[in-house]
Chains A and B, each alone.
Chain A
């Protein structure tokens, strides 16, 4: 009998896969209480490293052409498709659902990436416009990415929940620091492997595994984070208060897919110039 070679589930920061600087990990068990893995338990320092990586990646990613971003998001879908069976196995292992249910989730996640890939070079057209002002000026409004967005991913749907939040945020040109589902972090770490092989520049997405209630307050209070998607955490009032220190744009979402998820983390810029000879 051949013994399985098991994977070490690590963090994803700045395109690399480090362990937590704290040396901590925590145990993941399946529904029957059997051991699955010891993913890294990220610390505040790991989170700050991730924010720095995201901050440094922002000029390049937001400055890339929308066409280029769309191609990379589509590439993510391609890579995910090729790894379907691996995700199915991990979802089955952590949640106990049947493989056909897990397969549906993976397919849906792939389709979300394809949908948002197409949005990259369209969101400006549908949300920006020229403004007919009463004077000799040319005036237009365009959406721009906000910057670094912190995401607390949904707890239950370990893959699709994460993609629901992440895909629109990077489609809009933001970079991100994502805290994975605490009880089901495996799909997030494996998604990092997909992202790392999709031509996505290092630092655009950074993924932390660990204890949400420990990490989320640091995410909310970090002054280099510009927005928060708190879809995956229940009590957010205190996080809103911390986020008010630099007036983070804080959202939770009910709709699964919507261009509003992209626009929620974009900022409108209006530019005036005189017209004349």
Chain B
């Protein structure tokens, strides 16, 4: 009983404080970034203007006029959306096959897929660049979409596999008896039943694709460059322009933060699925 009493005291006072503390800690950099984006580059580095300053939209106007923000944004949308669709197109059937028609190798295949995430990206960077240039795909949408899909496939398959495992096998078998073929099983039964899981997987993959920088920065120059590249490009050689950099960063992460905000429930469910039941 003592344990219960202790934990309830903690849950009344401790937990909210802890939660707010952690929350603010995570939120602060974003808050600071947004705040700085409204300062001039000069104000951004002056200690006396830390909190109080004259807000300006100069950085934002500058960005759209000088750096062609909309082109980078369009590229980000094209690559993230296409990569998400492609990833789902491959991972849904893959997870379906492994969840409902497992073989002895299924577990090994799943582990192998996960193991590719443990490979340091730097190890394959130069082969990738040479390969991309060799076949003439460097700085193209196709390359970015392919790479983004490949790096996210393991996560997508794993997430969907866990969701599909929750669907009783009987229902799929009833479908077989009712005259459904494999594609019909996926379309008529699996997708409607696992809709929540597929949506959270899609959302997560989309966020990962949008935020991906390591590959997009290195495999693109102009034509297929995404917002990550825009941020990178503002790390100007003549020094850091914090105001400008903050504005670019805010504009780059803004859409995804808004999207995440509206889909919080789905996201949390997706990330904790299987862990808590």
Partners in one complex: no
